[in-house]
Chains A and B, each alone.
Chain A
Amino acid sequence: AQTVTQSQPEMSVQEAETVTLSCTYDTSESDYYLFWYKQPPSRQMILVIRQEAYKQQNATENRFSVNFQKAAKSFSLKISDSQLGDAAMYFCAYSPPMNRDDKIIFGKGTRLHILP
Chain B
Amino acid sequence: DTGVSQNPRHKITKRGQNVTFRCDPISEHNRLYWYRQTLGQGPEFLTYFQNEAQLEKSRLLSDRFSAERPKGSFSTLEIQRTEQGDSAMYLCASSFRTGGGGETQYFGPGTRLLVL
Instruction: Identify the A interface with B (CB < 8 A).
Output: 33, 35, 37, 43-47, 50, 52, 89, 91, 93, 95, 98, 101, 103-109, 111
In the complex, which of the residues B93, B103, B106 contacts A33, with contact meaning CB atoms closer than 8 Å? B103
A46 touches B100 (CB 8 A): no
One of B12-20, B22-30, B37-45, B62-70 at the interface: B37-45
Q: List 8 A-B contacts (CB under 8 A).
A: A33-B103, A44-B108, A52-B102, A89-B40, A104-B33, A104-B103, A105-B45, A109-B40
Q: A45-B107, A101-B50, A103-B33 are in contact. Are A91 and B99 (CB under 8 A)?
A: no
Summarize B's interface: helix, strand, loop or mixed.
loop
Which residues of the partner chain B approach A47 to less than 8 Å between Cβ atoms? Answer: 104-106
A109 touches B102 (CB 8 A): no
What's the Cα separation between A89 and B91 when bound, in Å? 15
Given contacts A107-B42, A108-B41, A111-B40, could you give 13 more A-B pairs where the C-beta distance is less than 8 Å? A33-B103, A35-B104, A44-B108, A45-B93, A47-B104, A47-B105, A93-B105, A95-B102, A101-B50, A103-B56, A104-B103, A104-B105, A106-B42
